[in-house]
Amino acid sequence: MSVELDVFVGNTTIMDKEVYQLWLNGYTVNDAVKVRIEGGVMEECEASAEVLLSDTMDQYRTFQMCERLLHHPAKLANQLLFQIPPDRQAMLIERYALACQFNSLDLVIIQFQTFICISLFRYYAFDDSFVREVLGKKLSKGTKKDLDDVSIKTGITLKSCRRQFDNFKRVFKVVEELKGPLVENIRQHFLLPDQLARDYAAIVFFANHRFETGKKKLQYLTFQDFAFCAGQLINNWTVGAVDNMMEDMDVDLDKEFLQDLKDLKILITDKDLLDQHKNLVCTALRGKTNVFNEMEANFKNLSRGLVNIAAKLINAKDVRDFFIDLVEKFIEPCRSDKLTSIDVNLYLTHYTNSAHILDTFKHHAVWTRYMGVIKSCILRMYHD
């Protein structure tokens, strides 16, 4: 004796938010039922475990049907298969709509959109701990195969890992060939909220350049740290950053700029220039910090480090090591000298500005463009 078939279809699709999250988190039906039982929904509604199981399976099926649409969010808006109810919880939109004198038709549209918004967010949302594991890795089948390790390490179910990974891959595939600003493209194609779109842009950017993020020395950095840095790089170092021409792409770094960076080497190769630079910085710093001596002693070392990073960026291979280089060549020395982030900020500000005063140094534009990003990245990364 068994239930062979059990379906429930409403004219308006009923979606339980709690179950949706469980599904997203990759719980099996049985595990989800357990969680729900613990949540006390049974006592609340005089239901039995059987009823709960039936409901959960039904919800999971609905989500699976929805999933196909969620992969192409642009289709979601005018799909006909699901008549999705206004989210009763989204009262704020309703109140807003009333206040706007929207008549009920508009209300429906807005509520519908809200619902889509929310389900999309949830679907495309990811776990920081997961993304930290795959950040900078090639979004390939090989990486996907290793997801079970990631799953064990992070404690996130394999199903959920796969969904998140597939989301990254899907977004990557779509925007890879698109022209125009990266974040905007993601926002429009996947109807994602701004912040989430930025995060995806960072993931795509990291995956494209295969930045190394997994080394032990980088473990202390969070995804948000990297996402911030990626934002800086996208906004300043890509082709799209300088001239906002439509045909340019946001995903790749500006080759010309990278080429020009080689010219900065003069700051460390020219002995006079190096000394002059050091003097200017030291003069400016003197008396403003209590780690002045360490800064003075380390100046040449640090400067060499930063300029060498710049000079190497023309090689794609070295681009990958950008973050590890920053940590090894700058952050670690500073940290061992016990510089506070205020000290670092002070140092970098004067280091950048002083170069402009050097008479023989001509590459001001490149220097500003380079140091602006380096400074904000280092400051973001300078924590425990």
Partner 1 sequence: MPGRLKAKIVAGRHLPVMDRASDLTDAFVEVKFGNTTFKTDVYPKSLNPQWNSEWFKFEVDDEDLQDEPLQITVLDHDTYSANDAIGKVYIDIDPLLCSEAATVISGWLPIYDTIHGIRGEINVLVKVDLFNDLNRFRQSSCGVKFFCTTSIPRCYRAIMVHGFVEELVVNEDPEYQWIDRIRTPRASNEARQRLIFLMSGELQRKIGLKVLEMGGNAVVGYLQCFDLEGESGLVVRAIGTACTLEKISTFPATATHPNNSSPSKDMKEPGFGEEAPGVPLSSGPPTPLRAQTFSSFSPSKSYSRQSSSSDTELSLTPKTGMGSGGSAGKEAGPLKALLKQQTQSALEQREYPFFTLTIFPPGFLLHVGGVVSARSVKLLDRIHNPDEPETRDAWWEEIRQEIKSHAKALGCHAVVGYSESTSICEEVCILSASGTAAILSSRFMQDGPLDTEHRLSQQPLCVFSAGSERVEGDMGSSASLGFEEVVSPGCGFCHIPYDELNIPFPAQLTYCYCCRRYKVPDVLFTTIDLPTEANVTGKGCLIQARLCRTKKKAQGEGNAMAISNLLPFLEYELHTQLMNKLKLRGMNALFGLRIQISVGETMLLGLASATGVYLTALPSPGGIQIAGKTPSDITYEQHISNMQKKINDTITKNKEQYEINPPEVVEEIIGSPIPEPRQRSRLFRSHSESSDEVSEIDLSHGKKDAFVLEIDDTDAVEDIHALLTDSPTPAGFYSCNTEIMPGIQNWTSAIQMFTSVRVFRLNANLTNQGLNKIFSDLCENLLKSLYFKLRSMVPCCLCHLNFTVAIPEDELIQVAVTAVAMSFDKEQTLENGKRSGEKTLIKAITENDEQLQFNLELNAESSSPNPLGSPKAPSVDYSSFADRCSSWIEQLKLKAHTIRRGSVKTTSSMEKASPLPEGRSRSLRSNRSYSGSSVAVVKMTPLSFIPGAKIIKYLGIINMFFIRETSSLREEGGVSGFLHTFIAEVFAMVRAHVAALGGNAVVSYSMKECVFMENPNKNQAQCLINVSGDAVIFVRESELELTSVQPQSATTQTSNGGEGT
40 binds partner 1 per the rule CB under 8 A: no
Binding to partner 1 (CB under 8 A) within 188-227 occurs at 188-189, 191-196, 199, 223-224
117 binds partner 1 per the rule CB under 8 A: yes
Which one among 23, 58, 257, 373 touches partner 1, defined by CB under 8 A?
Answer: 58
Encoded one letter per residue, x for contact with partner 1 by CB under 8 A and - for no contact, window 92-111 reads xx-xxxxxxxxxxxxxxxxx
Does residue 102 come out as left (phi exceeding 0), alpha (psi in the -120 to 50 range) or beta? beta
Binding to partner 1 (CB under 8 A) within 274-303 occurs at none
Report whether 261 contacts 314 (CB < 8 A). Answer: yes
Binding to partner 1 (CB under 8 A) within 137-166 occurs at 156
Size, binding site for partner 1 by CB under 8 A: 94
Among the residue ranges 183-191, 205-213, 326-334, 335-343, the one whose residues contact partner 1 (CB under 8 A): 183-191
Alpha-carbon gap, residue 314 to 260, rounded angstroms:
9
**CB of residue 367 vs partner 1: minimum separation in angstroms?**
34
String of DSSP letters for 121-137: HHHH---HHHHHHHTTS
**CB of residue 29 vs partner 1: minimum separation in angstroms?**
12
**CB of residue 196 vs partner 1: minimum separation in angstroms?**
5
Among the residue ranges 85-93, 211-219, 251-259, 337-345, the one whose residues contact partner 1 (CB under 8 A): 85-93
Neighbours of 176 (CB within 10 A): 13
What is the identity of the amino acid at 233?
Answer: L
28 binds partner 1 per the rule CB under 8 A: no
Closest CA to 176 of 136, 209, 135, 152: 209
Closest CA to 275 of 183, 166, 360: 360
Which one among 49, 65, 152, 158 touches partner 1, defined by CB under 8 A?
Answer: 65
- 100 vs 357, which CB is nearer to partner 1? 100
29 binds partner 1 per the rule CB under 8 A: no
Q: How far apart are the first and last CA of the chain?
A: 60
* Core vs surface per residue 232-266: b (16+ CB within 10 A) or e: bbbbbbbbbbeeeeeebbbbebbeebbebbbebeb
Among the residue ranges 80-88, 201-209, 228-236, 363-371, the one whose residues contact partner 1 (CB under 8 A): 80-88
**CB of residue 251 vs partner 1: minimum separation in angstroms?**
16
Q: List residues bridging with 180 in a β-sheet.
A: 249
55 binds partner 1 per the rule CB under 8 A: yes
**CB of residue 348 vs partner 1: minimum separation in angstroms?**
28
Alpha-carbon gap, residue 305 to 203, rounded angstroms:
27
Q: How far is CA 329 from its chain centroid? A: 25
